[in-house]
Amino acid sequence: MVDLSAYDPNSVSNPNNNIFGLPTDEESARLVILPVPWEVTVSYGAGTARAPEAILKASYQVDLFDPEMPDAWKNGFYMRPVDRKVLMKSDYLRKEAELYIDYISKGDDVNANQFMCKTLREVNEGGHYLTEWMREQSRALLEQGKLVAVLGGDHSVPLGYMKSIGEKYGDFGILQIDAHCDLRDTYEGFKHSHASIMYNALQEVPQLQRVVQVGLRDYSQVEWDYIANSNFKVIAYLDREIKERQFNGETWKHIAEEIISQLPEQVYISFDIDGLDRKLCPHTGTPVPGGFELEEVNFMLKTLRMSGKKIIGFDLCEVGVSDSDWNANVGARVLFKLCNLLVTSQS
């Protein structure tokens, strides 16, 4: 067991320690972060499978003092080592998916090509494997009384964890920060696509009562129709509409309070980093112009915390990796804020 009471938060981070330089272990940590090195179905830029390790390295530069939640880190945060078997499976299936995407992009008939039919089947089986793996890993930790967070990878990864969250906590809602709706029933033939995570969650997690999507700026007609016909099970706040309301004199405080009021009492946060302005996450998998400043999101999350609603879990996905460490630097700071929010919401 590790006792953090004697740890000096002002000291230089030891790279041999765990996330944020904390000398924690899984047994003593209140919050366990599951890194998921998976990006099989990414349809534009790759690199998110290596994000957990890059964010771990960048996290050593994050100061532990958060003036709004100064002692949150004392609960203990621990990130498990990346599962190399999952990473290798992702790398293999990613190459298969690239061949398949290239094939269908030319308008060729999948059914006329046995190899492509096999590839599609293997990729979809891989998505099912990852969902069940996530469900088992997160369920075991939740049964131990741990708080759990997921660090992707692409945005398809948290589905199994969402299922475990529903089983543990009962009815809940999702606050989704994202440039995309992720409401496609399949995308490019892939059932467990990063573009389908919210559709799959709404279909497969019976305890999920509502999804409130914030920052949307790239979506299809099918997704828009899904929202319009959802009987308010999905509530969308478009980036364009938020900005127009502000241009017309509304404060972000008023809009943020309205957003939070749409959520039930138990809230799961799903943070796709492309919800932020691209200058903060230039190598995210599917970047879109527009988006939030980080302080705007932090203010909304503070509004959530002050509302008295209970935060029960979160995922952070789609942080890209490049020759620069900027993406991981921003990702580490987003992760730290989310960790602080989760543990303080439970106290």
- State residue 13's pLDDT score: 82
Spans of the chain below 70 pLDDT:
1, 43-45, 347
> What is the CATH T-level fold of the domain 4-10+18-346, as seen in this structure?
Arginase; Chain A (3.40.800)
- State residue 97's pLDDT score: 86
Cα 238 to Cα 76: distance, rounded to the nearest angstrom: 36
- Residue 208 has which token pair? 């999920």
- State residue 124's pLDDT score: 92
256-291 per-position pLDDT tens digit: 999 999 999 999 999 999 999 999 999 988 889 999
187-206 per-position pLDDT tens digit: 778 889 888 999 999 999 99
Question: What is the per-residue DSSP string for 91-133?
Answer: HHHHHHHHHHHHHHHTT--GGG-HHHHHHHHHHHHHHHHHHHH
- Residue keyed to tokens 């990613």: 94
Phi and psi at residue 79, in whole multiples of 5°? -110, 125
Cis bond before residue 153 (omega within 30° of 0):
yes
- State residue 1's pLDDT score: 61
- State residue 347's pLDDT score: 64
CA angle 296, 47, 130 (to 5 degrees): 95
256-265 per-position pLDDT tens digit: 999 999 999 9
- State residue 90's pLDDT score: 94
Helix-helix angle 239-247:252-261, to 10 degrees: 140
